Structure 1
Amino acid sequence: MRFVHGFISFVLWIIAIPLLLVGLARALPFDNLLSLPQLVAFTPWATLATLPLLIVALFSRRWVLTLLLAAALAGFVYWTAPFFVPPETSTAADPADAGTLRVMTVNALYGQADAEIVVDLVESQHVEVLAVQELTPAFEEALADAGLGDLLGHSFTVPAEDSPAGSGLWSSTPLTEEDQLSGTSFAMPSALVAVGGTSVRVTVVHPHPPMPTEIATWRTDLVELTEQVHSDETPQIMAGDFNATYDHASFRDLLGSRFSDATREWGAGPAVTWPEGSPVPALFALDHVVVENDMPVSDVVSMQVPGTDHRALVATVVVE
């Protein structure tokens, strides 16, 4: 009997330790060491796994484990619950209004995404600004052949051959003051878009992924992005594959007190976007539309695009 009791305790602790580590990683004010970026990404899923384990620990009277799991669950709920709280007004804004902007972002996976589907989504979702990451010359040509120019006639692109470093920005209205962030691994083009009577700088975001041996590069890219967007007082929208979830401290540093994550503000739950198109379902919300705090958002949805491992993310941003 003592052996069985000890074995159950052992199993419970083996299951609990990864969940507790995720909670600890999420509580830290930094995420650029060891495997912290990978651990933090599991925060929403750790929330779901912790509750049943807490119940088992409680009813089996393992008090230390119960206390630790209860603390972890409280943290997980505190961090995750805001994603399910809708804004005071949850009425979808009309993309046809002059003061709104319908934004879409998609990572094309080395240009392997289905260009015709991307263009179909632009048309069906009434997209006015499109941000594409991992843009290759061939994919840019495929988008043109699929008729993207007929829908979004203005563009600023920085394609890259056989590399994830390329990005592009398309708009239904003229782009002005085109620019490119400096000091980042991948291209992050930006330009001003006129929305009603307001000029908004839209930036295509794509930092280096936080691979175990390249976490410093990932962190440097996000720091460069953070410093440059916060130094610009122009109203801004950022869209792209941030290679980070809201639970990453580096992403929250980017938001600061100025910006908001559109998915979190819409309150319909985390919009998981990666990995897509594999036996493993999409688990992580890496793709974001980031807006100024005073820009309400609505109708934030993710959508499948064949050929890429990311879901597209679409959002309506109320600028005026």
Structure 2
Amino acid sequence: MRFVRGLVSFVLWVVAIPLLLVASGRVLPFDNVPPLPLIVAFTPWAALVTLPLLVIALFSRRWVLTVLLAVSLAGFVYWTAPFFVPPPASAPADPADAGTVRVMTLNAHLGQADAESVVDLVESQHVEALTILELTPDLEEALTEAGLDELLPHSFTVPAPDGPGGSGLWSSTPLSRPEQLRGTSFAMPSALVDVGGTDVRLTAVHPYPPLPEETATWRTELVELTEQARSDRTPQILAGDFNATYDHATFRDLLGSRFADATREWGAGPVVTWPEGSRVPPLFALDHVVVERDMPVSDVVPMDVPGTDHRALLATVVVE
């Protein structure tokens, strides 16, 4: 009997330790130490596992483990619950209004996204501003042949023939003051788009992923993006693959008091976008539409696109 109790305790602790590590990583105000960026990404899923484990620990009278799991679960609920709370005025905005813009972002997975599917989404979802990451010359040509330029005739693209470094943005209204973010591994083009008479800077975001050996690069590029975004007082929309979830401290630092994550503001739950198209279902919300806090959002939804390992993310943003 003692052996069985010991075995149960061992198994419970083996399962609990990763959950406790996730909770500990999430509560820290930094995430630039490997493997913290990888650990905290599991925060929403850790909550689902912690609850049944807490019940087992409680009924088996493992009091130390029960307390630790209870505290962790309280944290997970506190961090995740706001994603399920809709704004006070949660009626969908009308994309046809001049002061709104329908935004879509997509990581094209080394240019392998199906161009016709992308254009079909742009047309069916009434997209007015589009950012594409991992853009290649071949994909750009395929998008043109599929009719993207007829729907969104204005563009600023920086394609890359090899690797994930290319990006581009398209708009239904003219672009002005095009720029490229400085000091990043991948292209992050931006330009002003006219939304109902208001100039809004649209940026295609794609920092280096937080691989264990490249955590410093990942954080440096997000910090650079944060500094440049905050220094520009023009209203902004940042859309792309941030290679970060809301649970990453560096991403929350980017938001600060000025910006908001459209997914969290809409309150329909976390929108997981990666990985897609494999046996593993999407687990992580890496793709975001980030807006000014005074810009209401609605209809924040993911969409499948053949050929890529990311879902597209769409949002209606009210600029004025």
1:73 & 1:259 partners in 2: Cα distance? Answer: 28
- Correspondence 1:33 to 2:33: yes
Aligned to 1:250: 250
1:7 Cα deviation (Å)?
A: 0.7
Give the partner amino acid of 2:280: V
1:75-86 pair list within 5 angstroms: 75-86=75-86
1:211 Cα deviation (Å)?
A: 0.8
Give the partner amino acid of 1:232: D
Give the partner amino acid of 2:147: G
Aligned to 1:294: 294
1:110 is paired with a residue whose SS is coil
1:184 Cα deviation (Å)?
A: 0.8
Give the partner amino acid of 1:208: Y
Aligned to 1:65: 65
Q: Which runs of 5+ in 1 are unaligned?
A: none
Task: Render the CA deviation track for 1:187-211: whole Å, top value 9, x for unaligned.
Answer: 0000001111211000000000011
1:210 & 1:132 partners in 2: Cα distance? Answer: 20
1:6-155 pair list within 5 angstroms: 6-155=6-155
Aligned to 2:189: 189
Task: Report the TM-score when normalising by structure 2.
Answer: 1.00
Give the partner amino acid of 1:234: T
1:175 Cα deviation (Å)?
A: 0.2
1:90 Cα deviation (Å)?
A: 1.2
1:82 is paired with a residue whose SS is helix
Task: Render the CA deviation track for 1:196-248: whole Å, top value 9, x for unaligned.
Answer: 12110000000000111111110111010000000000000000000000000
1:301 is paired with a residue whose SS is strand
Give the partner amino acid of 2:50: T
1:281 & 1:82 partners in 2: Cα distance? Answer: 23
2:260 is paired with a residue whose SS is strand
Give the partner amino acid of 1:54: L
1:276 & 1:10 partners in 2: Cα distance? Answer: 35
1:179-258 pair list within 5 angstroms: 179-258=179-258
2:48 & 2:84 partners in 1: Cα distance? Answer: 14
1:120 & 1:255 partners in 2: Cα distance? Answer: 32
2:113 & 2:4 partners in 1: Cα distance? Answer: 53
1:88 is paired with a residue whose SS is coil
Task: Render the CA deviation track for 1:118-167: whole Å, top value 9, x for unaligned.
Answer: 00000000000000000000000000000000100000000001110100
Task: Render the CA deviation track for 1:253-312: whole Å, top value 9, x for unaligned.
Answer: 100100000000000000000000000000000000000000000000001000000000
2:33 is paired with a residue whose SS is coil
1:133 & 1:54 partners in 2: Cα distance? Answer: 41
1:217 & 1:186 partners in 2: Cα distance? Answer: 11
Aligned to 1:176: 176
Task: Report the TM-score when normalising by structure 1.
Answer: 1.00
Runs of 4+ in 1 over 3 A off after TM superposition: none
1:285 is paired with a residue whose SS is coil
